[in-house]
Amino acid sequence: MSLQRSSRILVIDDENRLRQVCRRVLEPEGLELVEAADGISGLEAIEEKRPDLVLVDLMMPRMDGMEVLAKAREKHPDLAFVVITGFATLEKAVQAMKQGADDFLAKPFKPQELRMVVQRVLRRVRTLQDMSFEKSRSRLLISSMSNGVLVADMDGTVALMNPALRELLGDKDMDHRGKPLEQAMPCPKVVEVLTRILAEGPQGEKGSVTCQIALDGPGQPQYLQVTCLPFLGGMDKMVGAMAIFENVTAWRRLDDLKNEYVSTVAHDIASPLGSVISQLDTLERGLAGELNEKQAHLIRRAKLRVQGIVDLSRDLLDLAKMDNSAAEKPEPLALGTVLAEAVEVQTPAAQAKGQALSLELPDGLPKVKAAPLALGQVFGNLISNAVRYTPEGGEIKVRAGGGADGLWVEVADNGLGIDPEEFERIFERFYRVKNADTRTIVGTGLGLPIVKKVVESLGGRIEIESAPGQGSTFTVRLPAA
Ligand code: ADP
């Protein structure tokens, strides 16, 4: 920051000659000089003229320099002082420095010495002024931010809570500084994450953790996206933890609207096309008259195409359902039942391709906490993929196991296999592996993204083992309920 005006120096000395010396030396430096002939008028000049630096003689009648320094500092703790002293009072100068003077000059001094001391102290003053300006600017910035900000000290007490956060929490006028986090913050999830970051300390992960929370208020619930991260001070030393709260309620509502729209459109497409398929089916089976080879081929192709659109609608519906997380509540589920149902649904497709589809379940599997439809989709998609990407006569094995520390479900086939280079991409929405083998297989590229999203939302993960021509094994790992 540059000062708006040239720095103002107040010289307090009962000797007119010394005041004139100061004026002669400092004015050519572009500094503004103000004079006072004794301590009392010096204190008045401080109030009136607001100098940046005071040069004060220690030995003066009525009020000496030390007293001026002490009195002025009571009101202006940051005001810069240089004491001027004779040889005999060097000891006093040391004492004045101990009391907080910024520097001293011993009489008689050379013009160059005066210039040097004044410039040195002014440089320090400017740095201090810059810092306090910076501090007040940051404070203003944080207070006027529309996002909520919470800073906690290393001991887990609140150091800062900006007005936006207080407003979000509905207690605008409360000052929570100094209170323990769990008292000041009504969101246990945020308290838990911040406490963990603080407990991990400087050795912990430096990255941020983002979570979504819902705040119940008098009206509609508010959805907040909260980013928690370590708060780093100078030299990147951790001095606390902070959380930034963004109100995403409007986005959530838009998202819900989008999901509703997608669901409606997908549903409106799937229903009439379902009846188109059954009519094509009637034609294909010759129930509306014998078909020649070419006609039967065309009808089969049309049916496949229409089935592709029906599948896409079904997957879009599934995605919309999942995005609308409030739609289904998780509950403790018996994995065996979910798997048996998924296998049963896919059995006709496997039989149509002459494949052996088997389920192997140990007794006493612990329950898993999930929404039934979502978990059904996970295994339904994996088994349907295994059936579709395994040639006729192939084998598909579904197995499960695990204990109280977690469960695993394996869907293994001896089909086409996947190149490891594709492992990441097949979990992207709409991505499909394109090669001569998969060209004729109808799909949407939405199955695996759905699987991944559901599994991760349950705190689990999915692993693949596969190679082209070697079959594939997808393993889902889930925490027990
Ligand atoms: P879709 O099967 O509808 O194309 P998915 O998201 O379920 O979409 O799968 C993405 C891609 O991953 C598929 O296009 C396919 O190439 C590959 N894939 C998935 N499962 C298997 C499997 N069991 N064997 C071989 N390839 C598979």
Q: Which of 426, 431, 473 to mutate to test the pocket of ligand 1 (most atoms within 8 A of CB)?
A: 426
Residues found in the chain: 481
Instruction: State mean pLDDT over 57-66.
Output: 88
CA–chain centroid gap for 34, Å, is 54
Which protein residue's CA is at the shortest distance from atom 7 of ligand 1? 447
pLDDT confidence of residue 477: 95
Instruction: State mean pLDDT over 437-453.
Output: 88
Question: What average pLDDT does the structure give for the chain?
Answer: 88
- Rounded to the nearest angstrom, the distance between the alpha carbon of 432 and the centre of ligand 1 is 6
Q: Which of 133-142, 169-178, 229-238, 331-340 has the highest mean pLDDT?
A: 331-340
Instruction: State mean pLDDT over 142-154.
Output: 90
pLDDT confidence of residue 88: 59
pLDDT in tens, 380-428: 999 999 999 999 999 999 999 988 888 999 999 999 999 999 999 999 8
Find out whether the peptide bond into 420 is cis, omega within 30 degrees of 0.
no
pLDDT confidence of residue 3: 36
- Rounded to the nearest angstrom, the distance between the alpha carbon of 208 and the centre of ligand 1 is 33
Instruction: State mean pLDDT over 140-157.
Output: 89
- Rounded to the nearest angstrom, the distance between the alpha carbon of 378 and the centre of ligand 1 is 13
Our answer on whether the CB atom of 444 is closer than 6 Å to any ligand 1 atom is: yes
Counting atoms of ligand 1 from 1, which one is nearest the CA of 386? 23
**Position with higher pLDDT, 22 vs 323:** 22
Our answer on whether the CB atom of 240 is closer than 6 Å to any ligand 1 atom is: no
Instruction: State mean pLDDT over 334-357.
Output: 95
| Calpha distance 171→184 (Å, rounded) | 10
Q: Which of 355, 432, 474 to mutate to test the pocket of ligand 1 (most atoms within 8 A of CB)?
A: 432
User: Cβ distance 223 to 247 under 8 Å?
Assistant: yes
Instruction: State mean pLDDT over 13-37.
Output: 94
Instruction: State mean pLDDT over 353-357.
Output: 97
| Calpha distance 325→451 (Å, rounded) | 15
Our answer on whether the CB atom of 432 is closer than 6 Å to any ligand 1 atom is: yes
Which protein residue's CA is at the shortest distance from atom 21 of ligand 1? 385
Instruction: State mean pLDDT over 370-383.
Output: 90
Counting atoms of ligand 1 from 1, which one is nearest the CA of 443? 3
pLDDT confidence of residue 328: 64
User: Measured at the alpha carbon of residue 444, what is the angle toward residues 430 and 277, in degrees to the nearest 5?
Assistant: 155
pLDDT confidence of residue 240: 92
Alpha carbons within 13 angstroms on the beta-carbon side of residue 264 total 6
Is the pLDDT confidence value at 5 over 60? no
Q: What token pair was written down for 83? A: 């004491």
pLDDT in tens, 47-57: 999 999 999 99
Our answer on whether the CB atom of 389 is closer than 6 Å to any ligand 1 atom is: yes
When pLDDT is cut at 50, 70 and 90, the band that residue 2 belongs to is very low
User: Residue 408 contacts by C-beta under 8 Å, 6 or more apart in sequence?
Assistant: 400, 401, 402, 475, 476, 477, 478
pLDDT confidence of residue 331: 87
pLDDT confidence of residue 296: 93
Is the pLDDT confidence value at 339 over 90? yes
- Rounded to the nearest angstrom, the distance between the alpha carbon of 3 and the centre of ligand 1 is 67
| Calpha distance 196→191 (Å, rounded) | 8
pLDDT confidence of residue 205: 67
pLDDT confidence of residue 170: 81
One-letter amino acid at 479 equals P
Record the pTM.
Answer: 0.52
Our answer on whether the CB atom of 245 is closer than 6 Å to any ligand 1 atom is: no
pLDDT confidence of residue 323: 64
Which protein residue's CA is at the shortest distance from atom 16 of ligand 1? 433
Our answer on whether the CB atom of 315 is closer than 6 Å to any ligand 1 atom is: no
Is the pLDDT confidence value at 93 over 80? no
pLDDT confidence of residue 280: 94
Our answer on whether the CB atom of 413 is closer than 6 Å to any ligand 1 atom is: yes
